[in-house]
Structure 1
Amino acid sequence: MPSEINDKLVVAISSRALFNLDDSHHVFEEDGLQAYSEYQVAREEEPLTPGEGFPLVQKLLRLNGTLDPSCQVEVVLLSRNSADTGLRIFNSIQHYELDITRAAFCGGESPWRYINAFGCKLFLSSEAQDVRRALDNGVAAATLVSRGAGASESELLRFAFDGDAVVFSDEAEQVYKRDGLEAFTASEQAAAREPLRGGPFKPFLAALHRLQQAFPPTEAPIRTALVTARSAPAHERVIRTLRAWNIRIDESIFLGGLNKTEFLRAYQADVFFDDQQTHCDLASPHVATGHVPHGVANR
């Protein structure tokens, strides 16, 4: 019998983000779909190696050992493969003992259209176009752009978020891009008591907050951090916005334009989400990084 997904935190991930499919993708690009299909079928008993999103998925699924059965995490696989060529992917899931049972194999089509049907709060992919479509349909989504970043050694699952255009809307960033830092600071001071509108990752952050509330604050297996280029006095509006949303952020780091990478490493982030490609490029060799192609910086 089907089970309800409404009370779960559902995360969708593409097959190329979960596993390293570079070799088979190269076959597809060089020799076409038929050669790719033959390549995958011939190797369907050979497990794929983990991809950039694999450590995060492992930690997400491990949370279910500490969460109440009524409030669990589910990971759904979304793939452009057909079910035939996708058998190797499911065999690899079983090989690594990942508790992933739901999937959509779309036979070359983009899988983004199934994201809302599965009730997903987050979509991770290596395909920027699919990520943009997910964002356009109101789902937090990011393109994984890491380059060999290893898993955090911490038992805690640590999420790090940029603020403007990720957790918050890009309304303030538009002022900065158009009029400069001085105008941005003045605007944020004037609107300090006016909550910012939510960005694409607000619902996902709220879902993490609900999971955290099942534990005493010092015992939650999930930790969140806001890592933003903002500094005082532009900090006040951020703090008051989160207070108005009734969402707890465990750590808030206001960097005033400093490079975020060393702070992310010190925090031991399992994944970092940012809308600025430059920040993602700097962080990606060290921390699993998701580029969020949203807001004025990506137009």
Structure 2
Amino acid sequence: MHKFENCLVVGISSRALFDLEEENRIFDEAGVDAYTKYQIEHENDILKPGTGFALIKALLKLNEIGSEERKTEIIVMSRNNADSSLRIFNSIRHYQLDITRAALVSGAMLAPYLEAFNTDLFLSANEEDVQEAINAGVAAGIIYTQHLTYNEIKEIDQIRIAFDGDAVLFSDESERIYKSQGIEAFQANETKNARKPLPEGPFARFFKNPVSDSESL
């Protein structure tokens, strides 16, 4: 499978990209069969943008800057199957999003697919999927969902991302010492290892990606 070298690969769940809160309610209350039936019956109804829509659109715009070489690749990651995902792809085409790849895992674990696509960052509205990605060594974050009108989706001119240090860019070893042994042990450990670089954290690979480290981001 293509590894997208020198390209920022971002996986996003369909529920983070589009407003699927009503559909998610049907899934939770009536089960997968009712959810699939609803999606098939409404496959030509265009989904409203979700809370991650503007960010993904901005990331895709990076491909319009400079050379013809792609700088970002967006992959829709979903536990859905192909039958219940037609509506998602119809919506992608409607909004003219340059997304051509997806992992539809039919209820299986997403982590192996994140690794196969060499994903730098995974965004999802599902906390379990995010934790699964982090456990697999992939940088991941939760997109909190809410109902938005299309007019509320503002264009992003510049992407700005703030990183925490401990347990994000760097490992959580110092934080674990603080929590388990207290402030004095933490300070002693920091003094002892002052010249020793901290091991990488889950977001280190994303931060070091040549695209995320460029002026275009």
State the TM-score, normalized to the length of structure 2.
Answer: 0.88
Q: Which amino acid aligns with 1:160?
A: A
For 2:193 and 2:2, locate their aligned partners in 1 and report how far apart those are by CA, in whole Å. Answer: 45
Determine which structure has greater relative contact order: mean sequence separation of CA pairs < 8 Å that are 6+ residues apart, divided by chain length: 2
Partners of 2:35 and 2:147 lie apart in 1 by 25
What is the identity percentage for the equivalent residue pairs of Structure 1 and Structure 2? 45
Secondary structure in structure 1 of the residue aligned to 2:195? coil
Equivalent residue, structure 2, for 1:181 = 183
Structure 1 residue 4, shift from structure 2 partner: 6.2
Instruction: Tell me the CA shift for residue 61 of structure 1.
Output: 0.5
2:78 maps to amino acid:
S
User: Which residue does the alignment assign to 2:127?
Assistant: 128
Could you say which residue in structure 1 is the equivalent of 2:211? 211
1:114-150 alpha-carbon deviations (Å, 9 max, x no partner): 1111121111112222222222222111222366797
- Given that 2:7 and 2:211 are in contact with CA atoms closer than 8 Å, whether structure 1 keeps it comes out as no
CA 1:186–1:153 in structure 2 vs 1: closer, same or farther (change >3 Å)? Answer: farther
TM (normalized to structure 1)? 0.65
The 5 Å alignment of 1:253-264 reads none
Secondary structure class of the residue paired with 1:159: coil
Aligned pair count reads 214
2:78 maps to 1:83: no
The alpha carbon displacement at 1:3 in A equals 6.7
**CA distance 1:3–1:196, change in 2 (3 Å):** closer
Coordinate RMSD, CA, aligned: 2.3
- 4+ residue segments displaced more than 4 Å: 146-154
- The separation in 2 between residues aligned to 1:145 and 1:192, in whole angstroms, is 37
Counting only pairs closer than 5 Å after superposition, residues 224-243 of structure 1 correspond to structure 2 as: none
Corresponding residue of 1:190: 192
1:50, CA displacement in angstroms? 1.6
- Tell me if structure 2 keeps the 8 A contact 1:7–1:70: no
Could you tell me which runs of 5 or more consecutive residues in structure 2 were left unpaired when the two chains were aligned. none
Q: Any conservation in 1 of the 2:54–2:156 contact (CA below 8 Å)? A: no
8 Å Cα contact 2:125/2:145 also seen in 1: no
d(CA) in 2 for partners of 1:189, 1:153 = 45
Corresponding residue number in structure 1 for 2:161: 159
SS, match of residue 84 in structure 2: coil
Structure 2 matches for 1:93-132, cutoff 5 A? Answer: 93-132=92-131
The residue matched to 2:171 in structure 1 has which SS?
coil
Q: Which has the higher strand share?
A: 1
CA 56–193 in structure 1, closer or farther in 2 if over 3 Å, else same: same
Which residue does the alignment assign to 1:62?
Answer: 61
